[in-house]
Chains A and B, each alone.
Chain A
Amino acid sequence: MSPLKIKKGATSHSAYNLRPTFSDKEERHTLAILVENEPGVLARVIGLFSGRGYNIDSLTVAEVDHLGHRSRITIVTTGTPQIITQIKAQLGRIVDVHTVNDLTVEGPSVERELALFKVQGTGDHRIEAIRLADIFRANVVDSTLESFVFEITGTSEKIDAFAELMQPLGLQEIARTGVAALSRGATA
């Protein structure tokens, strides 16, 4: 099969990078979606995923251009290459969606997630927690005599690793923002 040859930027409603074969292997992809900042646009995107049975591993959304009336939605999803292609094409059909970029296949990109960890403990556990936080470059944003709230930024894997280490040290709660991602380099 030849890929669907749609020139990038030819239209705001095209799908990119149709994959050459239908494989059964599940892949994790990070999609960056620029949308019109209209009421209901997030519902359209989420409704598409639930209605068609796609996975959402992580989702972040916020306005990124007030004057241009644009919001950016970053979705991490898993699926076979064919499903990933379908997801992108289906997103492209939504009238309020301007662009869909698959950061996983369109060259190098950076991904970051922010998380807050509440860890309770005294004595050695407390000392170990703050020592590990230092190693992970987490900041203390709240403290009592028997607890910390750490703020940590990094890849999802780094946050997973930190969570695993905090678990035996009195981890009470985690709040994660979900992934924000951008392509590397000078241009959008």
Chain B
Amino acid sequence: MTKAMTGAKMVVQALIDQGVDVVFGYPGGAVLPIYDEIFQQNSIKHVLVRHEQGAVHAAEGYARATGKPGVALVTSGPGATNAVTGLTDALMDSIPIVVLTGQVPTFMIGSDAFQECDTVGITRPCTKHNWLVKETDKLAPTLHEAFHIATSGRPGPVVIDIPKDVQFATGKYTEARQVETHYNPQVKGDMEMITELAKAMETAKRPIFYTGGGVINSGPAASQLLRELVAATGFPITSTLMGLGCYPASGENWVGMLGMHGLYEANMAMHDCDLMINIGARFDDRITGRLDAFSPHSKKAHIDIDASSINKVIKVDIPILGDVAHVLEDLLNVWKSRGRKTDKENVTKWWHQINEWKKVDCLAFKQEGKVIKPQYALSRLEELTKKHDRYICTEVGQHQMWAAQYLGFEDPNRWMTSGGLGTMGYGFPASIGVQMGHPDALVINVAGEASWLMNMQEMGTAMQYGLPVKQFILNNERLGMVRQWQELLHGERYSSSWSESLPDFVKLAEAFGAKGIQCQDPDSLDDAIMEMITYDGPVIFDCLVEKHENCFPMIPSGKAHNEMLLGADADTANAIQAGGAVLV
């Protein structure tokens, strides 16, 4: 059955058919017909952001927190170019979003028309796929295929560029079920390889699960199966920044996050293990440190849906191409049917070793005096909010790493952070997207003052839609991570890493009609946080913290996992040698 309708109506119809309930966007000349259709319906809620970058990050936040694809709608030219950062962010972190861009009419393409840009050309390297739709008849199938491609296989962002004349013209609407696609990535893993992994698990003396964002992207079933597998085998489990929440932080086999600012015990265990089971992670350079010294004595298994992630930087012994949930299900079945065997004696010894490393207590800090330590602020935030239905976003920098270290995540989809691209300005708009997906939840954006200012215009959005997002700003009046690197690497020459001329955040909040809270006294921090939580509306929380605190533990650039710097007393002077200084 096909219905005739205008291209603009098709866009709205396709979104409805795909189950979209919210679109983040900003109107402009080239998308006016679509906005006109949005005006005339009630199925889809449109959230007017204050900048297109905010629309894309909000769509990302929505996607991560709900597991459904996020949708953004922007105009041609500057609308599209402003979306590029968000698209790249979503590509790096494998977030399914569908971004619709307006385009000048087909007959004007290539003429340097007003607000024209080569959107598909610009976004080709920062999307999973993109389309310029030149015929109205092709619009509906393209929209349906876009959702399929964004959400299947390794998820990612897609762009559909729609010229204005295509939006006005009438064509036939194609239903989703009528659309054929050749894009059907393999989800089942190879049984031979899965059996090989099960065998390796039976004999491993020092095994570890190294999990990543792929577990979360695979859906709640993957996290459930992972928990079952960990409980059944008794093996320790660590996770990347992107994978936090796939295994509960309170779980007894949890050894904490690994990587550059990961926990000592997690990195030591990765270095000394004899079987590394990588589930949905990609051996990112923040994880591996020096490649030739990365876990030198281990057999490595890697479960990933993207063949290009396997053997990209680290050679693996047991590669398994497939979707995490499918592979874990088969792995559990095979391992169980072979008798549920593990080398209990040696694994127990391995746990003794890990528990020794844990005694180093690498996250210890002393809250002394009258200045709030950022670690203390996050510890208190954790204590006072962990019982809530809570979602955490972050910006990028020291506060992000501290949040990952000091907050505990019990479930997937509760932690939204820009991992791959490291986009300052991500967290605030993302928190708006999360709150749209979970209107009654407590949504907190842990921020640094510098990152937060990058997309502060979204206060207008939060106010307009009554979204009670809590902006928890650890204000050290510094670009903290930049400052830390300048201290360690550039002779303490703090070039442009001071946040000067900062606004009064309380007055700023009030100017938008929101609530502002400032806290600089450790003794009143708890009360201030409680005030933030209980206030029904957006809050900017200006938490003045120790200005020169460094983020530890840290694997310096160019070093191996077992060469971590542990803290304030560490010998940081010669930590990074010439070779490491060129790395970021």
Contact = CB atoms under 8 A, between A and B. Distances in A.
Chain A partners chain B: yes
A44 B126 CA distance: 11
Contact of A44 (B124, B182, B185, B318): B124
B226 interface: no
B201 interface: no
B230 interface: no
A85 interface: yes
Interface string B178-214: 0000111110001011001000000000000000000
A10 interface: yes
B311 A85 contact: yes
Contacts of A43: 121, 124
Contact of B311 (A5, A6, A82): A82
B149 A15 contact: no
Interface in B313-331: 315-319, 321
A86 B308 contact: yes
A21 interface: yes
A4 interface: yes
Nearest to A91: B308
Contacts of A10: 186
B307 A92 contact: yes
B139 to A, nearest CB: 16
A12 B319 CA distance: 19
Contacts of B306: 89, 93
Given A39-B132, A47-B124, A13 B185 contact: yes
Interface in A65-116: 82, 85-86, 89-90, 92-93, 95-96, 98
B548 interface: no
Given A12-B182, A13-B185, A6 B132 contact: no
A1 B317 contact: yes
Most buried by B among A12, A44, A82, A95: A95
A1 B315 contact: yes
A4 B317 CA distance: 9
B120 to A, nearest CB: 6
B129 interface: yes
B312 A86 contact: yes
Contact of A4 (B125, B196, B307): B307
Contacts of B312: 86, 89
Contact of B315 (A11, A14, A22): A22
B310 A4 contact: yes
Nearest to A92: B307
How extensive is the interface on chain B, given as a class? Answer: 20 to 34
A78 to B, nearest CB: 19
Q: Which of A43, A47, A82, A86 has the most CB of B within 10 A?
A: A86
A47 B125 CA distance: 7
Contacts of B192: 5
Contacts of B154: 93
A43 B132 CA distance: 14
A21 B319 contact: no
Interface in A1-48: 1-2, 4-7, 10-15, 18, 21-22, 36, 39-40, 43-44, 47
B318 A2 contact: yes
Contact of A6 (B121, B128, B307): B307
Contacts of A22: 311, 315
B315 A89 contact: no
Given A4-B310, A40-B124, A44-B124, A13 B315 contact: no
A14 B183 CA distance: 11
Q: Which of A10, A47, A89, A96 has the most CB of B within 10 A?
A: A89
B245 interface: no
Contact of B193 (A5, A13, A98): A5
Contact of B307 (A1, A15, A21, A98): A15
A16 to B, nearest CB: 9
B155 interface: no
Interface string B415-435: 000000000000000000000
A51 interface: yes
B185 A11 contact: yes
B190 A6 contact: yes
A14 B321 contact: yes
A155 B121 CA distance: 35
Given A11-B185, A18-B311, A82-B311, A6 B321 contact: yes
Nearest to A19: B311
B125 A13 contact: no
Contacts of B319: 2, 4-5, 18
Interface in B133-187: 149, 153-154, 182-186
A89 B308 contact: yes
B308 A13 contact: no
B125 A14 contact: no
B138 to A, nearest CB: 11
Contacts of B149: 95
Contacts of A36: 182
Nearest to A22: B315
Contact of A95 (B128, B307, B311, B316): B128
Contacts of B125: 47, 51
10 contacts: A2-B317, A2-B318, A5-B190, A5-B193, A6-B186, A6-B307, A13-B307, A14-B307, A39-B132, A89-B308
A-B CB proximity, top 9 nearest = A89-B308, A15-B307, A95-B129, A11-B186, A89-B307, A4-B319, A5-B190, A90-B308, A13-B185
Interface of B: 120-121, 124-125, 128-129, 132, 149, 153-154, 182-186, 190, 192-193, 196, 306-308, 310-312, 315-319, 321
Given A18-B310, A47-B124, A89-B310, 19 more contacts: A4-B311, A5-B190, A6-B186, A6-B190, A7-B190, A11-B186, A13-B184, A13-B307, A14-B186, A14-B307, A43-B121, A43-B124, A85-B311, A86-B308, A89-B306, A90-B308, A92-B308, A93-B154, A96-B129
